[in-house]
């Protein structure tokens, strides 16, 4: 049994690296159903339940520091890749589709919670749904950020990740399968196809060197320290804590850097991808499978959210004459993120790939705020027990 920090960290790093390496080297379709990040979480949780390590005071303190510092660092590095000028240059039609998608998800999450709030576990059964809402506008990093900001119990993270992964996998398969219906859909909405839409390519980065890794980590840590210091001067409440302010300020700092010459320095995207899966591994090491029996209820909530989202998007497409390509890309940019949306866009038209990337990056910017908004709404509507 592991009782000291360094062997514990070795296991975390090994688990965080082995599944992404397998996916990259093998290309197994299994990973399209269960992404590496979900497998990392489940495997680490299983090892924790099996008692591979004992949560000593030293390990507990290490977990707290890694998560408390790692999440703002991660958010900062993710935001560095988001160029708001390129996003707004897409034009009103594309941004209108994105806005309607966000509104449809707000309606879907709110309606679903009102339907199921009396059967969700008390008193904080709404928290996994709030965390998933952050992911289904942004990505897993936003889910983690929302989880930290609202103080969600580590045991509920498994429910959120499972709902996120299965719902996402189903939605990807559905959007790919209905692509052939685009001509009929566009005739129904009287929309013109967006396949000819062209935007500037997202800037490419050079090779990632060791000095780049060290410099980005230094900047991210400085941004986190500064955000935590400023958060101490801002008002806190039951929902907006110092941790929440730290995450929001780190987001703002990353967006500021994204519009400076520093953003052309390579490495932020690679580091953030690796850091994300490591942070999830550390979180998993704190939890167990208690409460997993409620997973079917949360999966039902997830599918209900997707059904309502689809219905609202159909109504918006008919009302505003949106075409299927933009609706599908915007939906997957929210629910699937930057990894899945460009793949769907490429099956439509190569010209739409940069659009998918930019919309997914916009989702990353808004995801944490959206999740915190849903958390505020859910907590105000939660039944009294």
pLDDT of residue 105: 97
Q: Residue written as tokens 């679903």?
A: 112
User: Within a domain: residue 39?
Assistant: no
* Contact yes or no for 108/305 (Cβ under 8 A): yes
Specify which of 206-210, 230-234, 241-245 reaches the highest per-range mean pLDDT.
230-234
Look at residue 47 and tell me if it is in a domain: no
Binning pLDDT at 50, 70 and 90, where does residue 102 land? very high
Residue 49 lies in a domain: no
Distance of CA 5 to the CA centre of its chain: 29
- pLDDT at residue 134 in the model: 94
Extract the tokens encoding 328: 């599908």
pTM of the model: 0.74
Evaluate whether residue 211 is within a structural domain. Answer: yes
pLDDT value at 127 more than 80: yes
Domain range for residue 348? 71-381
- Is 278 inside a domain boundary? yes
In a domain, 92, yes or no: yes
Specify if 342 maps to a domain: yes
Average pLDDT of the segment spanning 260-264: 84
In a domain, 45, yes or no: no
CA distance 316 to 216: 41
Residue 104 confidence (pLDDT): 97
Q: What does the alpha-carbon distance between residue 259 and residue 81 come to, in Å, rounded to a whole number?
A: 9
Q: What pLDDT digit, counting tens, does each position of 294-304 carry?
A: 688 999 999 99
- In the chain, the number of structural domains is 1
- Token pair belonging to 108: 């879907």
Least confident of 255-264, 289-298, 329-338, 351-360: 289-298
Most confident stretch, 139-153, 184-198, 338-352, 363-377: 363-377
Residues in the chain: 385
User: How would you class 16 by CB atoms within 10 Å of its CB: exposed for 0-12, middle for 13-18, buried for 19 or more?
Assistant: buried
For 184, the token pair is: 């009929």
Over residues 271-280, the mean pLDDT reads: 86
Summarize pLDDT for 66-97 with one digit per residue, the tens.
Answer: 988 888 898 888 888 776 776 676 678 889 99
First to last CA, the chain: 41
For residues 151 and 135, give the distance between their C-alpha atoms in angstroms, rounded to a whole number.
16
Chain centre to alpha carbon of residue 321: 29
Angle between helices 295-320 and 157-177 (to 10 degrees): 40
Coil/strand/helix, residue 2: strand
């Amino acid at each position: 049994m592991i009782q000291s920090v360094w062997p514990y960290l070795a296991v975390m790093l090994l688990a965080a690296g082995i599944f992404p390496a397998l996916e990259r080297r093998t290309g197994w379709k299994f990973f399209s159903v269960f992404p590496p990040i979900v497998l990392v979480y489940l495997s680490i949780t299983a090892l924790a339940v099996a008692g591979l390590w004992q949560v000593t005071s030293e390990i507990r303190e290490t977990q707290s520091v890694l998560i408390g510092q790692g999440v703002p660092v991660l958010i900062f590095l993710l935001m560095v890749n988001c160029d708001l000028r390129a996003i707004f240059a897409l034009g009103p039609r594309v941004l209108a589709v994105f806005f309607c998608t966000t509104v449809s998800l707000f309606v879907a999450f709110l309606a679903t919670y009102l339907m199921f709030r009396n059967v969700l576990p008390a008193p904080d059964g709404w928290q996994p749904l709030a965390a998933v809402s952050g992911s289904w506008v942004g990505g897993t990093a936003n889910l983690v950020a929302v989880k930290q900001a609202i103080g969600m119990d580590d045991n509920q993270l498994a429910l959120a990740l499972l709902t996120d992964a299965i719902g996402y996998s189903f939605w990807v398969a559905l959007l790919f399968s209905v692509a052939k219906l685009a001509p009929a859909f566009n005739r129904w909405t009287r929309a013109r196809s967006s396949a000819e839409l062209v935007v500037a390519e997202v800037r490419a980065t050079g090779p990632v060197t060791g000095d780049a890794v060290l410099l980005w980590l230094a900047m991210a840590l400085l941004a986190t320290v500064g955000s935590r210091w400023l958060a101490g001067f801002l008002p806190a409440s039951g929902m907006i804590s110092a941790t929440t302010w730290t995450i929001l300020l780190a987001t703002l700092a990353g967006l500021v850097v994204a519009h400076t010459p520093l953003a052309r320095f390579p490495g932020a995207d690679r580091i953030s991808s690796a850091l994300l899966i490591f942070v999830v591994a550390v979180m998993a090491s704190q939890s167990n499978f208690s409460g997993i029996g409620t997973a079917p209820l949360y999966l039902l909530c997830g599918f209900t959210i997707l059904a309502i989202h689809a219905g609202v998007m159909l109504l918006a497409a008919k009302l505003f004459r949106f075409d299927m390509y933009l609706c599908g890309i915007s939906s997957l940019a929210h629910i699937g993120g930057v990894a899945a949306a460009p793949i769907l866009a490429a099956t439509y038209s190569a010209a739409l790939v940069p659009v998918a990337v930019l919309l997914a990056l916009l989702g990353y910017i808004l995801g944490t705020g959206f999740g915190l908004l849903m958390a505020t709404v859910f907590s105000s509507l939660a039944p009294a027990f």
